[in-house]
Amino acid sequence: MKLAARRVKNAALVLEDGSFFLGYGFGAVARVSGEVVFNTGMVGYVESLTDPSYHGQILTMTYPLVGNYGVPPYDAVDEWGLPAYFESAGVKVQGFVVHECCRTPSHWNSAESLDEWLKREGVPGIEGVDTRMLTKKLRVKGVMLGILEVCEEGVEPDVDELLREVKHVRDPNERKLASEVSCSKPVSYGNGRGKRVVLIDCGVKLSILRQLLKRGVDVVRVPYGASADEVLDYRPNGVVISNGPGDPKRAVEVVDAVKGILDEELPVLGICFGNQILALACGGDTYKLKYGHRSQNQPCIDVKTRRCYITSQNHGYAVSKESLDETGLRVLFVNANDKTVEGVRHEKLPAFSVQFHPEHSPGPLDTEFLFDLFVKMLGD
């Protein structure tokens, strides 16, 4: 009896601490670098992979099987002309790490497999990795820089070369990552008859736009770097500061713009990165978390009612509670697990923000009501 040929491990993930993981490649043949992070969600890989907040990162999924329901069609659009099933126009992660990549998906809305999609998008993936071991390492040591390489079939990666190269990988958080995933020019949405909201695009998830639009709000999406005067020229009824990647302290242009907007006492809503920006604009501080919050099951507590909400999250930085004393901001939500700040509100100004994602996608719908509160603040 003829034995089947042994499959060559043609992919490798190496970390800056000198550890490495060998596996099998899928998606694109490529070598990429970035910050290696993990997400503990069981589903939602399509939304996560297209979330601009993952720009600059190599994403690891802790759930063992990924890709089983495939990838929906790209050409499907919603009633506002936005891609119906995605959070942006394409995959935003640098690379993808899973235990097992399903190449034969089963779902009525699947147009292609995860492997085919990433290959078309030019993004490499590695499977056959002990993602539990990798995640435990990142939890103990913190997120690390890494290199992911997928070679041609039959070619093995040069691990020694990769380990030398990873020592020189530049931390993507040193760049203004939010500016790299923002729109290039203003874009308007809506029928022109609703309240006008200016959305400062730091890497916005399209579901945030959908939540505003379905409430009858007209939205003007402006690029990263838009000044307060440019925002105010649209005569908005309110302003939203979006999610986005990277260190919020690098986004000095957005912080300065929000300072000017707050002076006009307009309603302001910050989401994720926007929560950190609001805190910085009011004189608060932010810091980097050891391994961040990335999942769809983070419990957050309303400090006033003590009610717990289950939330979707994707961030590596947080607002310092101790820095808020002289800012006029008060804590609105805290994380039930590590007690980090999950939201703030201003005592005198009509401004509040949350660290989690009330637009969900993926995740529970618990906090979608926050959009209703913001729209109510816009007035009749």
* Residue 100 appears among annotated catalytic residues: no
Please state, rounded to an integer, the average pLDDT across all residues of the chain: 96
For residue 17, the model assigns a pLDDT of 97
Please say which residue of 174, 206, 221 terminates a domain.
174
Residue 1 placed within a domain: no
Helical residues (DSSP H) of 83-220, grouped into ranges: 114-121, 131-141, 159-166, 177-180, 206-213
Q: Domain count for the chain, please give it.
A: 2
Please, are residues 359 and 210 in contact by the beta-carbon 8 Å criterion? Answer: yes
Residue 166 placed within a domain: yes
For residue 305, the model assigns a pLDDT of 97
327-338 pLDDT, tens digit per residue, is: 999 999 999 999
For residue 25, the model assigns a pLDDT of 97
- Please indicate, yes or no, whether the overall pTM of this predicted structure exceeds 0.85: yes
* Residue 230 appears among annotated catalytic residues: no
Q: CB-side exposure of 159: number of CA atoms within 13 Å?
A: 14
* Residue 102 appears among annotated catalytic residues: no
Catalytic pick from 55, 99, 315, 357?
357
One domain, residues 53 and 109? yes
Look up the CATH number of the domain holding residue 314. 3.40.50.880
Residue 2 placed within a domain: no
Q: Please give the structure tokens belonging to residue 333.
A: 């939500």
Query: Between the CA atoms of 247, 211, 93 and 182, what dihedral angle is there, to the nearest 10 degrees?
Result: -60
Residue 207 placed within a domain: yes
One domain, residues 303 and 202? yes
**In whole angstroms, what is the distance from residue 119 CA to residue 25 CA?**
11
51-83 pLDDT, tens digit per residue, is: 999 999 999 999 999 999 999 999 999 999 999
Residue 202 placed within a domain: yes
Please say which residue of 174, 189, 209 terminates a domain.
174
Please, are residues 252 and 320 in contact by the beta-carbon 8 Å criterion? Answer: no
**Closest to 366 measured CA to CA, from 305, 307, 293, 292:** 307
Q: Please give the structure tokens belonging to residue 372.
A: 């209703």
For 306-325, b/e burial (b = at least 16 CB within 10 A) is eeebbbbbbbbbbbebebbe
246 exposure class (CB count in 10 Å sphere: 0-12, 13-18, 19+): buried
Residue 4 placed within a domain: no
Please, are residues 92 and 181 in contact by the beta-carbon 8 Å criterion? Answer: yes
Q: Would you put residue 204 in left (φ > 0), alpha (ψ -120 to 50) or beta?
A: beta
One domain, residues 235 and 315? yes
For residue 380, the model assigns a pLDDT of 74
Residue 226 placed within a domain: yes
Enclosing domain of residue 139? 11-174
Please say which residue of 174, 197, 216 terminates a domain.
174
For residue 8, the model assigns a pLDDT of 76
Quickly list DSSP for 12-41. Answer: EEEETTS-EEEEEEEE--EEEEEEEEEE--
One domain, residues 126 and 207? no
Low-confidence stretches of the chain (pLDDT < 50) are 1-4
Catalytic pick from 101, 151, 202, 272?
272
